[in-house]
Chains A and B, each alone.
Chain A
Amino acid sequence: MSFVWLWTDILVWTLVLVLIGAVRSIRRSEQIRKQWFNILKSPVAMSAAIVLSFYLLFALLDSVHFQYTQPTSDSSTEQRSLAVHEQGVLSLLDILVPHLRTQTERTYSAPFATHEYSTSLSYDESGVVSQVYRPLQFGGQHWTGKHSILDDVMVKTAIPFLFTCIIIAIIFAIHLGWGFLKTRGNYIDYYENQPDPKDELPWGAAYFTLFVLIFLFSWFFYLSHYYHVLGTDKVGQDVLYQAIKSIRTGVLIGLLTTLVMLPLALILGISAGYFKGWVDDVIQYLYTTLNSIPGVLLIAAAVLMMQVMIANNSDWFGSTEERADLRLLFLIFILGLTSWTGLCRLLRAETLKISQVEYVTAAKAFGLSPFRIIQKHITPNLMHLVLIALVLDFSGLVLAEAVLSYVGVGVDPTTASWGNMINQARLEMAREPMVWWSLFSAFAFMFTLVLAANLFSDRVQTVLDPRRKH
């Protein structure tokens, strides 16, 4: 086994490094720290932030890839055929949940089912034909039939519940201990300066969210050893597995797109606003032109172009995963290229305003180089706009992925994504009885992420945007 770094992996880890850097600088600046404290003071924002970090954690786990080593030529045919079967790139997440990946059934089965969803013909030994629900190969096979499935699930819920309680207790202890350590030096001080309860972070909401998330996670994890908790799809793959694998696609599209669009918007927006004149004209022309092309058309054309490129150079890619990954990367780039215009316009207007402010004109008079001025005085004053735009765009991008996949210009069909799941689910809804669990899972996972992102961005806006009072 060896590490494989896909392009998007590299980018997402770069982003993580950048984020860590940002957090360190936040800790240094009193003002920004206060702002963040303000944002997190709302229980809703606190919970949303925790949910988002959970999703991010899954995306990161899914962004460390390994590959089984290529078999040597002298290994036997059987070994090699096994290797081909197992070939492909696996992520850390895949390794954590091997049973989800490998325990595939023949076809559809409902959540917690022990038998297939529809009947199939079967012949017994004497050749008599009967319509039966075939038993599943893996799902619910421990079930003896003594108790109902519901009872069984209830009993099995106890373990994850206990586990969650313990984990939460440990976290709480660490939290307390840390607070204690921090204040031990001036113990009395701590009590005398007992902060106003209004300034306290909403730890109750935080622990509640954490509890729910950890409980859900451990519950799914534990029960998935016994059942297909969210059922299986047409070819018998576990739906839970697909939904979890889709997290990476959704989060990456939301995060990395902003990474692509940010430099463009920053550089062009600030230059237009600061230098004015022909620079401003050219940049305005650029974004008006891009803006006036209907977005989907632009994206579709670009994606098709990329497909042709990939098709013509198929030898660039060793594996299907790499090809799919490049397509994801390209999609991210295209989305970035089409979505920088909004932020760019905002930044331009704000720069125009700031460069009229006295201290900037003074700096100019002192003969400071424009780049110094931009770096020192302008950029820091734009950061709240950037942050607002980023959190606002995130949920929109996650939703856009689904629509684009539906139109056929989204991620690679082999990539797990909620858009692809919804697309497939449309056909399932036409069945009788309906196969609802794929759609439901995609809905639940996607809704949670987007809702959390929306709530969080709402709070960020309220705190950071001086013009927004409500």
Chain B
Amino acid sequence: MATPFYSLFTYRIFDKFLMILFLSYVTNSTASNWNTPYSEEQVRSATLFSAFSQSPKHLDPVVSYNSNEWAVLSQVYEPPLQYHYLKRPYTLEPLTLQKMPDIRYLDKNHHPVSSNSSNIAFTEYLFTLKEGIQFHLHPAFAKDSKGAFLYHQLDEQAVHSIKSVMDFTHQTSRELLAEDYVYALKRMALRQNHSPILDSMMQYIVGFKAFSDLVTEQYKTALQAEDKRVQTLYFDLNQFEISGVQVVDKYRYKITIKEKYPQFLYWLTMNFFAPIPWEAEAFYKQAVLVEKNITLDTTPIGTGPYQLVENNPNKRMRLLANANYRVELYPSDGLAEGADPALLLDAGKPLPFVKEVIYSLEKESVPLWNKFLQGYYDASGVSSDSFDQAVSVSSSGAMNLTDEFKEKGIQFLNMTQPTIIYFGFNMADPVVGGYTEKQKKLRQALSIAINFEEYISIFLNGRGELAQGPIPPGIFGYTEGEPGINRVIFDWKAGRIQRKPLAKAKQLLAEAGYPNGIGEDGKPLTLHYDTAATGPDSQSMLNWYRKQFAQLGVELVIRSTDYNRFQDKVRKAKVQMFSWGWNADYPDPENFLFLLNGANATIHTNGSGINSANYDNPEFNRLFQQMKTMENTPERFEIIQQMLKIAQEDAPWAWGYYPKSLSLYHSWLHNVWPNPLANNTIKYRRIDVNERLEKQAEWNQPVMWPFVVVILLIIGSIYPLMRAYRQRQTAVVISNKQDKV
């Protein structure tokens, strides 16, 4: 009879074990919520919780050209200029400079001339740094008592227990100098660093190409001689000079560019132009560190408000406020029209407010969204799947939060981005391309038939604005309302924009030589649309396109491929029609109009140009050259309008739409304002920690009954099982005995 007790005993132990596990779990987390993904301490401090969906590949400022990466990089690195956080239109202001750069125009003999002179050969920019700016603490700067660098000659032994740069015992800082900015440019010139803007900058900066060729060749020889890789061979770039980039003194440096290129200043807000201390490179190129993935590409070193203290691209990245940060104040002016005045409540206070930023990897939209709703992310975008849960759109297109979200105190902002998604015709194509009256009319007819209003409402939940030309709102040259509409496709009737009727498109099509969609050879017109869209949602989208063309009796054949192939086809001009987009690099119309400039056509540039439609209109090109280097004057505006008219008439694109961004954020997050061009905006954010704690606790009360039910079920099943077993044993014994008998 001992056996049942035996089993009972084991069960008791099992239960106790469970209870202990359970209790320890509960007591461990009584203070914070069970389902919080963060530690107690993090939630209770002014920490901003954010997510990233793609692991950043490069954090080297001279390489990175990706908004995901810039979201982190821009908090650490400081280029000379930045965009004013609040002002519209987008305005530049000095970041590490005392004032905006001094500009001198020079003729070909380097004599100063006036800004509107016709023989400007060079433009010279003089940058004057603020004094006393310090880099954040870093082992690369650490020196011993004799003044030699402590960590520039590391061996295996020394880095044995090192996992990140934070593990070095000695960390010091150094003042930011003009030569650090110049050094960054020299790094950019080195071909082996793969800077994406090297080739564009060569066209502008004086002596850049010569310098680049020289150092690239020298470095190549050195690499071969020492049999090392780029990651591990430090090369002293300071032994060479770029003729157009000079250090004037400790705090001043000069850049000379060819001719006149006012947009150059916009480039200087980008991380490519952020300072790099040469010590950093000497430090990071040690093989023992590279083996541990400690490189300049993974661990930035800058002067910004934050420093990257943890970089695990597979899990999370952590920024900590830079203790050495200079005094920088929250802006006290420049509030844009219609913006919330509460944005100025913190005016004049020292930045940054948030002490720590945690970015967690969140590849899936489902957990991201759920965690946002549980209060574990402070802000979130809206995917189209959760759109109608969060936002309701009125028939006039105005967006409002749903009641559920209003109750939670969630706020939202939406703005049209400086981006265009366009439907392009390949102008080099014999059918849809060409500049004859007939070919033009075919494109115009199709442009009318493709109803992007419908597209925006079906596929974007209204998160887009109809494009009238290449220039999106917020960029000089864009005109709102009636004067800005594209008269080829739209009419202005009853105080609003209206697409021309389908009859007009049919008429144009007939005039183009395809009455009812039938060509002269008696066969129906068949066109090809190339796309990289292959997702489940894209199927309905592609069907939609087919329907638009079918309205005119034109058959659309869709060729969908993966993105690589698609790009390749576009580059080789093998497509007939396609959709693509462009994100502003800087807020200047030149950055959009050059998408249609003939010199940039892919067929003229061996595939590297960005004019994928291969649009090449001599008059447009001429005006583009004229407009390119102008300041934003009424005269420039006039020229741009002319260019738009030409392009609208030629219709190399069916224009498409400007997407709207939509962001949601919780009531405890303050100073949120969308500025798509500024990336270094975390320093402006403020968090009300107590409010967040309260709301999180309120939204995440654990539901206990299922647990109790399960435990009761397990306990409850023990007795019947035991009884059944005992009965069975006796039964078996009896039958055994009977057998024997």
- B735 interfacial contact with A, CB 8 Å: no
Residue of A nearest to B539 (CB): A414
A314 CA / B547 CA spacing, docked (Å): 21
CB-CB contacts below 8 Å: A47-96 with B: 73, 76-77, 80-81, 84-85, 87
CB-CB contacts below 8 Å: A220-252 with B: 234-235
A120 CA / B387 CA spacing, docked (Å): 12
**Contact digits for A106-117, partner B, Cβ 8 Å, 1 yes 0 no:** 010000000000
Tell me how far the C-beta of B541 lies from the nearest C-beta in chain A, rounded to whole angstroms.
10
Contact indicator A430/B555 (Cβ below 8 Å): no
Contact indicator A85/B522 (Cβ below 8 Å): no
Known: A80-B550, A85-B550, A432-B389. Is A73-B539 also a contact (CB below 8 A)?
no
Contact indicator B550/A76 (Cβ below 8 Å): no
Contact indicator B366/A429 (Cβ below 8 Å): yes
Contact indicator B369/A424 (Cβ below 8 Å): no
Contact indicator A413/B388 (Cβ below 8 Å): no
- B404 interfacial contact with A, CB 8 Å: yes
A98 CA / B535 CA spacing, docked (Å): 26
Contact of B388 among A76, A80, A81, A120 (CB under 8 A): A120
- A257 interfacial contact with B, CB 8 Å: no
- A420 interfacial contact with B, CB 8 Å: yes
Tell me how far the C-beta of B86 lies from the nearest C-beta in chain A, rounded to whole angstroms.
31
Contact indicator B536/A80 (Cβ below 8 Å): no
Tell me how far the C-beta of A97 lies from the nearest C-beta in chain B, rounded to whole angstroms.
20
Contacts of B522 in A (CB 8 A): 73
Residue of A nearest to B559 (CB): A314
CB-CB contacts below 8 Å: A240-290 with B: none
Known: A118-B388, A123-B395. Is A320-B558 also a contact (CB below 8 A)?
yes
CB-CB contacts below 8 Å: B557-582 with A: 558-562, 565
Residue of A nearest to B404 (CB): A432
Contacts of B385 in A (CB 8 A): 234, 427-428, 430-431
- A311 interfacial contact with B, CB 8 Å: yes
- B551 interfacial contact with A, CB 8 Å: yes
Contact indicator B562/A307 (Cβ below 8 Å): yes
Contacts of B392 in A (CB 8 A): 119-121, 131
Contacts of A427 in B (CB 8 A): 365-366, 383, 385-386
Contact indicator B518/A431 (Cβ below 8 Å): no
Contacts of B130 in A (CB 8 A): none
Contact indicator B550/A311 (Cβ below 8 Å): no
- A312 interfacial contact with B, CB 8 Å: yes
- A357 interfacial contact with B, CB 8 Å: no
- B546 interfacial contact with A, CB 8 Å: yes
Contacts of A77 in B (CB 8 A): 506, 516-517, 552-553
- B172 interfacial contact with A, CB 8 Å: no
A320 CA / B536 CA spacing, docked (Å): 13
A235 CA / B544 CA spacing, docked (Å): 13
- B540 interfacial contact with A, CB 8 Å: yes
Residue of B nearest to A237 (CB): B540
**Contact digits for B386-423, partner A, Cβ 8 Å, 1 yes 0 no:** 10110011110000000110000000000000000000
- B523 interfacial contact with A, CB 8 Å: yes
- A129 interfacial contact with B, CB 8 Å: yes
Interface size on B, residues (CB 8 A): 44
- A308 interfacial contact with B, CB 8 Å: yes
Contact indicator A413/B536 (Cβ below 8 Å): yes
Contacts of A123 in B (CB 8 A): 395
- B237 interfacial contact with A, CB 8 Å: no
- A426 interfacial contact with B, CB 8 Å: yes
A307 CA / B516 CA spacing, docked (Å): 36
A311 CA / B389 CA spacing, docked (Å): 37
Q: Quick one: which of A77, A123, A414, A429 has the most chain B CB within 10 A?
A: A77
Residue of A nearest to B533 (CB): A413
Contact indicator A81/B539 (Cβ below 8 Å): no
- B66 interfacial contact with A, CB 8 Å: no
- B370 interfacial contact with A, CB 8 Å: yes
Known: A73-B518, A121-B395. Is A85-B565 also a contact (CB below 8 A)?
no
Tell me how far the C-beta of B364 lies from the nearest C-beta in chain A, rounded to whole angstroms.
8
CB-CB contacts below 8 Å: B363-379 with A: 364-366, 369-370, 373
Contact indicator B546/A84 (Cβ below 8 Å): yes
A431 CA / B547 CA spacing, docked (Å): 31
- B91 interfacial contact with A, CB 8 Å: no
Contact indicator B516/A430 (Cβ below 8 Å): no
Q: Quick one: which of A81, A120, A429 has the most chain B CB within 10 A?
A: A81
Contacts of A426 in B (CB 8 A): 364, 366
Contact indicator A81/B386 (Cβ below 8 Å): no
Q: Quick one: which of A123, A308, A320, A414 has the most chain B CB within 10 A?
A: A414
Contact indicator B535/A311 (Cβ below 8 Å): no
Contact indicator A308/B539 (Cβ below 8 Å): no
Contacts of A320 in B (CB 8 A): 539, 542, 558
A107 CA / B523 CA spacing, docked (Å): 38
Contacts of A424 in B (CB 8 A): 536
Contact indicator A84/B547 (Cβ below 8 Å): yes
A424 CA / B553 CA spacing, docked (Å): 34
Contacts of A87 in B (CB 8 A): 546
**Contact digits for B500-520, partner A, Cβ 8 Å, 1 yes 0 no:** 000000100000000011100
- Interface CB pairs A-B, < 8 A, 24: A73-B523, A80-B524, A80-B550, A84-B547, A85-B547, A107-B388, A118-B388, A120-B388, A123-B395, A131-B392, A308-B565, A312-B565, A314-B561, A320-B542, A320-B558, A413-B534, A413-B538, A414-B536, A428-B385, A430-B365, A430-B366, A430-B386, A431-B385, A432-B373
| Pairs A-B, 7 closest by C-beta atoms | A311-B561, A84-B550, A77-B553, A81-B550, A427-B385, A314-B559, A413-B536
Known: A314-B559, A413-B534. 17 other contacts (CB 8 A): A76-B516, A77-B553, A84-B547, A84-B555, A85-B550, A118-B388, A118-B389, A120-B392, A123-B395, A311-B562, A312-B561, A314-B561, A414-B539, A420-B536, A423-B536, A424-B536, A430-B370
Q: Mark B residues whose CB is within 8 Å of A.
A: 364-366, 369-370, 373, 383, 385-386, 388-389, 392-395, 403-404, 506, 516-518, 522-524, 534-536, 538-540, 542, 546-547, 550-553, 555, 558-562, 565
